[in-house]
Amino acid sequence: MATLSLPGVGYGIRYEYGLFFQAIEQGAQVEHPDTWLRYGNPWEVPRPELLFLVRFGGRTVHATDPSGRLRVEWVDTHDVFAMAFDTPVPGYNTGTVNNLRLWSARATRDFSLRHFNEGNYFKAVEQKTESEKLSKVLYPDDSTLIGRELRLKQQYFFVSASLQDILQQFLEAQEPFGRFPERVAIQLNDTHPAIAIPELMRLLLDVHGLEWDPAWDITRRTFAYTNHTLMPEALETWPVDLFERVLPRHLQIIYEINHRFLEQVRRAHPGDDARLARMSIVGEEGGRRIRMANLAIVGSHHVNGVSRLHSDLMRQQVFADFHALRPEAFVNITNGVTPRRWLHHANPGLASLITGQIGPDWVSDLGGLTHLAPQAERPEFRARFLDVKRENKQRLKRLIRERTGVDVNEDSMFDVQVKRIHEYKRQLLNVLHVVTRYNRIREGRLDGMVPRTVIISGKAAPGYWFAKLIIRLIHGVADVVNHDPAVGDMLKLVFIPNYNVSNAEWIIPACDLSEQISTAGTEASGTGNMKLALNGALTIGTLDGANIEMRREVGDANMFIFGMTARQAAECRASGYNPWQAYECNAELRQALDMIAGGAFSPDEPSRFRSVFDRLTAEGDPFLLLADYASYLACQARVDALYRQPGEWARCAVLNVAGMGVFSSDRTVFEYARLIWDVTPVATPPPGAARRQRR
Ligand SMILES: *Cc1c(COP(=O)(O)O)cnc(C)c1O
């Protein structure tokens, strides 16, 4: 936003411990706390004077205000202060500096005094630690819901502080509340801040004395919601009794929102009780729960998905009822990545090669990369492209040596899968390919094979035991493959610990082949796919998420597509998918799976990976790995064939870079500004411009 000269504020929590640090011990993930503040943080400005009170618990009572109006008061609450820390975010080549405002929890003096006055000094100090837990640690898993009370409290904590901050700034301008939606747009990043909808209602009704209808009109015209996943296990719901205990006033407001909303649905679809039950904000299955996605949709003027496929599936499947009611509210805004970090900064070699050919404008106008396309036909440019890639691979080779002790060959193909470890992302399919390739090498069936280094990196959520088992399996396979003299340089498998943005900046520029192999219909967009292609990797992938749009931009001939489409995957499941069939019919697949089940990669504990085998067979293979295996292997053979022609490979790689212009986050942000927020850039001269002019 800053680079586009759009005024904006980012709000969040100033966690004392960020996402855990991943260490690998005996092939297994071990989590360590990320103490990122241990040496202080020079980029932030503490704002001890910027404090807002956030309240929890208590009960509601009715009161009459001096004008005789009945209103609700929220009393007997536990209170915590939110203190602001500001981090300036300067744009690239503009004078705009936006603000990232993160809230840190502080105990109120009030609260500790209560115990102190009772003579209980230690209790008073305990209460302080209790309050400050709110900004202690980031929950590491958004892919499955863990309905923890502290998580709900964290969400409300930062949302309430942010809304109070926004309202205070709005009120300083002394404009009527009716103008609030013209002055403020709030984008809900997933449902995690969706409690903001009833919180704004509460502030408008109970604190500022508005009536329901104008308050609801303001709220609906202020919020928009970005959905990030279709997987039902990731959609947030909170038990009603938890809500009642933590946020009793908000529960009342949600009930009222729901009541009025369901009235509207009933008018549109009389007698359709099943529809009412599906659309209700209160779910009745398995105990009454608040469905945060339904709340977010009902309280927003726009809802967007993050790739065309994802937005289509959203409209046709999970939110079909809401789409039928209000089709104009649903839009698509395909994700993008910043070219400043992911090319200009992370890959200085390629960046200067590009600038040398087409000038520097691509850095803030990535569409300009199309001017690079003619270079793909020039042998001299291809050679220079390959030189840069080789230097980046040498740099990564040193990092791999340092972090894992494994020596890799920089002339082998670097085949990279870097992303969170999750069954739907199918790291296991990658492993099945590695095991098959290993078996072919041992059996001397090398026809057309090129040397490969398969690189995997990613964290597993600490409570997702199966994802952690996948990490162990990767290490088990690596141990066998990397130490087998029969394999030599033909195949290496390395797992780089602690995947994060800093490591990504080293890995991505060194990649030849980018693995984007999720089950079609499961990856909302992906952004790793964009970073890798922008750095001249060829993609092997399914027709999932943004891969589909990437193929359109870079051309069919420059991407390796395999496997079922989202529609075929759905049909496959609907027609009673049986993974045993693939197991029986495909000897290589059977061999790989039997080795995993039989302990070939866990000689010290032969049954360790038995559950991997079971998951992919008896348990039904929910992400259809076996169904896509043959197609994936055939596609990998095509990859080898192209890699044996470096000139042709380089040509495709350069065309990938040239085609990635639309996947700039600048384009994405601009679409949010135009389609959802209705804001335009505020011209600000770049720093030093005024001084230069005076001279
Ligand atoms: C880009 C990025 C991701 C997202 O990767 P996907 O392949 O889109 O899942 C995850 N983690 C880090 C550190 C990243 O830089």
Digit-coded pLDDT (tens) for 343-386: 999 999 999 999 999 999 999 999 999 999 999 999 999 999 99
> Which distant-in-sequence residues (6+ apart) come within 8 Å of 534 by Cβ?
337, 339, 342, 343, 656, 657, 660, 663
Q: What is the pTM of this model?
A: 0.96
Residue 603's pLDDT is 98
Catalytic residue among 14, 323, 425, 475: 425
Kindly state the average pLDDT of the residues 561-587.
Answer: 98
> Which distant-in-sequence residues (6+ apart) come within 8 Å of 215 by Cβ?
200, 201, 204, 205
Catalytic residue among 108, 519, 527, 542: 527
pLDDT per residue over 144-182, tens digit each? Answer: 666 689 999 999 999 999 999 999 999 999 999 999 999
Q: Considering only 39-48, 102-111, 240-249, 387-396, which range has the smallest mean pLDDT?
A: 102-111
Kindly state the average pLDDT of the residues 72-90.
Answer: 97
Catalytic residue among 101, 192, 389, 419: 419
Query: What Cα–Cα distance (Å) separates residue 107 from each residue in 12, 52, 125, 179?
Result: 18, 11, 9, 35
Across all residues in the chain, what is the average pLDDT? 95
436 is catalytic: no
pLDDT band at residue 695 using 50, 70 and 90 as cut-offs: very low
**Neighbour tally for 427: CB within 10 Å:** 24
| Alpha-carbon span 495 to 387, nearest angstrom | 25
| Alpha-carbon span 517 to 560, nearest angstrom | 11
- The answer on pLDDT for 229 being more than 50 is yes
389 is catalytic: no
Torsions phi, psi for 648 (to 5 deg): -65, -40
Q: Which residues face 86 on adjacent strands? A: 45, 101
- The answer on pLDDT for 14 being more than 80 is yes
For 62-80, b where at least 16 C-beta lie within 10 A, e where not — what string?
A: eeeeeeeeeeeebeeebeb
Half-sphere exposure of 419 (CA within 13 A, CB side): 25
133 is catalytic: no
531 is catalytic: yes
- The answer on pLDDT for 319 being more than 60 is yes
What CATH homologous superfamily does 175-333 map to? Answer: Glycogen Phosphorylase B; (3.40.50.2000)
How many angstroms does the Cα of residue 419 sit away from the middle of ligand 1?
A: 5
- The answer on pLDDT for 691 being more than 70 is no
Residue whose Cα lies nearest atom 6 of ligand 1: it is 528
How many angstroms does the Cα of residue 527 sit away from the middle of ligand 1?
A: 6
Residue 685's pLDDT is 76
Residue 147's pLDDT is 64
Kindly state the average pLDDT of the residues 393-417.
Answer: 98
Work out which ligand 1 atom sits closest to the CA atom of 503.
Answer: 13
Tell me how many degrees the CA angle 148-288-266 measures, rounded to the nearest 5.
Answer: 130
Q: Where in the chain is the domain with CATH 3.40.50.2000?
A: 175-333, 391-659
Residue whose Cα lies nearest atom 4 of ligand 1: it is 528
CATH ID of 391-659, from 3.10.580.10, 3.30.1950.10, 3.40.190.10, 3.40.50.2000: 3.40.50.2000
Kindly state the average pLDDT of the residues 5-27.
Answer: 97
**Neighbour tally for 396: CB within 10 Å:** 25
